[in-house]
Amino acid sequence: MEYSAIQNQMRTLCQGKNWRTLLGMLEDGYKGTYVMLRLVQGRTDVTAGNLAKRMHVSTARIARALNTLEGKKYIRRENHEGDARKVIIRLTEEGERALDERNAVVRATLAPMFENLTEEETASLFFLLHKLLG
The pLDDT value recorded for residue 45 is 87
Closest CA to 103 of 31, 18, 38: 38
Q: What pTM was computed for the model? A: 0.67
Classify residue 70: in a domain, yes or no.
yes
Tally of structural domains, the chain: 1
Classify residue 86: in a domain, yes or no.
yes
Residue 26's pLDDT band (boundaries 50, 70, 90)?
low
The pLDDT value recorded for residue 133 is 72
Q: Which CATH number fits the domain that encloses residue 57? A: 1.10.10.10
Domain hosting residue 38, numbered range: 31-111
Mean pLDDT of the chain: 82
pLDDT tens, residue by residue, 52-79: 998 888 999 999 999 999 999 999 999 8
Question: Residue 88's beta-bridge partner residues?
Answer: 78
CA angle in degrees (0–180, nearest 5) for 101-36-91: 70
Classify residue 24: in a domain, yes or no.
no
d(CA 21, CA 19): 5
Higher pLDDT, 26 or 133: 133
